[in-house]
Amino acid sequence: MTKILSSLKTILCRKPCFRAAVVVCLLVVLALIPQQAHAGIGDIVSILTGIYNTLRGSIGGPLNTIQAVNANIRDLHQQVIWPVSVLNQARGFVGQVTAQYRNPMWQIHTLSTNSATLGNPSQLESVLRGGQAGGLSRIQPAFQRLYQPVPGASDAPPDDHKLSLAAQFIWCGPSDPVECPAHSLLP
């Protein structure tokens, strides 16, 4: 008996809703336990009838009112806020448009839009357009392969260097030797 009381005490201390539930259960159990061993079924039936009448009368009225309010709110939603007929009409329209344009949209989606034609640019473009998270680690190497560092001025072969100076000389013209840097570098 002490174990029951201690467990009841811990349950009652937790939350107020548990307290109310335990009190109601205790009242029902105490009402159903006959005072004498000779209690009849008639006593139990009369207690259950009293509980039923209490639930039906004093609790049933507000419960019916709550159900009526919920029904009115549901009707308001279905008829005014989100009319079912209009929603079904919109669903039908979306289905019709989807069916009508599915093939053209798929054809547009499957068109190849790759513009790169050389090897390194094609690799970079395929990594960038791949849409895979694993492709992020492949972007930097593909970019470096495509856009390698530009060689310095001293790295160019001497013939290419002279060709570059000649191009600058042609651009500046022979009449303007002071402003053209190529004039000072030519032999």
Domain boundaries, the chain: 2-37+44-81, 116-149, 157-185
pLDDT of residue 185: 54
Residue-wise pLDDT for 35-83, tens only, equals 554 556 777 888 888 888 888 877 888 888 999 999 999 999 888 888 9
How far is Cα 31 from Cα 102, in angstroms, rounded to an integer? 70
Q: Say what percent of the chain tops pLDDT 90.
A: 17
Please state which of the ranges 64-68, 104-108, 117-121 shows the lowest mean pLDDT. 117-121
State the Cα angle at 178 between 174 and 182, rounded to 5°: 65
The model's confidence at residue 139, banded by pLDDT at 50, 70 and 90, is confident
pLDDT at 157 over 80: no
Identify which of 94-98, 105-109, 122-126, 153-157 has the greatest average pLDDT: 94-98
Total-model pTM: 0.32
